[in-house]
Structure 1
Amino acid sequence: MIKEKRKPVTRVAVIHDLCGVGKAAMTNILPVLSVMGIEACPLPTMVLSAHTGGYGKPVMRALPAFVGRSAEHLWENGIRFDDIFVGYLGNISMLEEVRILLRQYPEAYVLVDPIMADHGVYYRNYDEAYGKAMRKLLKYSDVITPNYTESCFLAGENYEERCTEEKICRICERLGELGARQTVITSVPISGAEIGIAVYGAEGLKVLKRNQAGRAYPGTGDLFAAVLKGSMIQGKSLMESVVKAHDFVSRCIKMSDAFGYPVREGVMLEPNLQYL
Structure 2
Amino acid sequence: MSETKKILTIQDISCYGQCSITVALPIISAFGIETAVIPSAVLSTHTSGFTDYTVRDLTDDLPGILEHWEKEGIYFDAIYTGFIGSIEQFGYIKDIINSRLKPDGIVFVDPAMADNGEFYNGFDQDFADTMGELCKIGDYVLPNTTEACYLLHKPWKEEFSKEEMLEMVDELSNFTKRHVILKGDTHKQDKLGMIVLDKDETPSIEFVYNDKIDHVSHGTGDVFASAFVGSIMVGKSPTSAAKIAGEFTKRALEETIDDPEHTYGVKFEKVIPEIYGLLDSI
One fold, TM greater than 0.5?
Answer: yes
Aligned to 1:233: 233
More displaced stretch, 243-252 vs 69-78: 69-78
* Cα distance between partner residues in 2 of 1:247 and 1:159: 26
* Cα distance between partner residues in 1 of 2:71 and 2:198: 36
Any conservation in 1 of the 2:15–2:43 contact (CA below 8 Å)?
yes
* Cα distance between partner residues in 2 of 1:265 and 1:117: 16
- 1:206-245 equivalences under 5 Å are 206-245=206-245
Any conservation in 2 of the 1:135–1:154 contact (CA below 8 Å)?
yes
Aligned to 2:262: 263
Any conservation in 2 of the 1:33–1:227 contact (CA below 8 Å)?
yes
2:185 to 182, 185, 188: 188
Any conservation in 1 of the 2:210–2:247 contact (CA below 8 Å)?
no
The answer to whether the aligner puts 1:58 opposite 2:57 as a matched pair is no
Residue ranges of structure 1 left out of the alignment (5+ in a row):
1-5
* Cα distance between partner residues in 2 of 1:178 and 1:167: 17
* Cα distance between partner residues in 1 of 2:117 and 2:264: 24
Q: SS in structure 1 opposite 2:173?
A: helix
For residue 114 of structure 2, what is the amino acid of its counterpart? A
Q: For each residue in 1:103-148, what CA deviation from the matched residue of structure 2 results, as whole angstroms up to 9, or x when unmatched?
A: 2235320100001111122222111111111111122101011111
Measure how far apart 1:54 and its partner are.
Answer: 2.9
The percent of aligned pairs where both chains have the same amino acid is 27
Q: For each residue in 1:30-69, what CA deviation from the matched residue of structure 2 results, as whole angstroms up to 9, or x when unmatched?
A: 0011111111101000011221223322121110132332
Measure how far apart 1:191 and its partner are.
Answer: 5.3
The answer to whether the aligner puts 1:75 opposite 2:70 as a matched pair is yes
Normalising by structure 2, report the TM-score.
0.89
For residue 10 of structure 2, what is the amino acid of its counterpart? I
* Cα distance between partner residues in 2 of 1:262 and 1:237: 36
Instruction: Give the count of matched residue pairs.
Output: 270
Q: Runs (4+) of structure 1 moved beyond 6 Å?
A: none
* Cα distance between partner residues in 2 of 1:214 and 1:162: 16
* Cα distance between partner residues in 1 of 2:92 and 2:139: 19
Any conservation in 2 of the 1:157–1:171 contact (CA below 8 Å)?
no
Any conservation in 1 of the 2:115–2:146 contact (CA below 8 Å)?
yes
1:179 to 155, 173, 176: 176
Residue ranges of structure 2 left out of the alignment (5+ in a row):
276-282
The answer to whether the aligner puts 1:143 opposite 2:140 as a matched pair is yes
CA RMSD after TM alignment: 1.9
